[in-house]
Amino acid sequence: SQRTLLAEHEERIHQLEMERRRLHNDIQELRGNIRVFCRVRPLLPEERERQRGLPHLHFPPQDARSLSQVGRERRAELRYDFSFDRVFPPGASQQEIFQEIQLLVQVCAQISISPG
């Protein structure tokens, strides 16, 4: 009787896990299967001296999906605007980045170890 009950619970857990995966995949498809992230790394000490920071990059505080680059040196009037699924400025922590991508990492890990 306990073995039967255990088998039923294991089957139910398996069904729920399959449903969770299906729903997660549906969400990913609705978002778009390809997501593009941009992480601007902090400057190295020697780069800080040479470049005096990153004045040519602008991270709009109200929009975590945009990045602008203004011209440098001879072409200061040029401006390029970029859009991504998420932009991480130089001050972003590893934890902040992982929180954003952890579901994607989990799905990739599950796919790589799943049989079949």
pLDDT tens profile 78-111: 788 888 888 999 889 999 988 888 877 666 666 5
CB atoms within 10 A of CB 26: 10
DSSP 60: -
Is 71 in a helix, a strand, or coil? coil
For the chain, what are the domain ranges?
1-33, 35-115
Give the integer Cα–Cα distance in Å for 18 and 106: 14
Chain centre distance of CA 21: 19
Residue 66 contacts residue 89 (beta carbons within 8 Å): no
Give the integer Cα–Cα distance in Å for 15 and 56: 52
Residue 114 has pLDDT above 60, yes or no: no
The reported pTM is: 0.56
- Residue carrying structure tokens 């400057």: 43
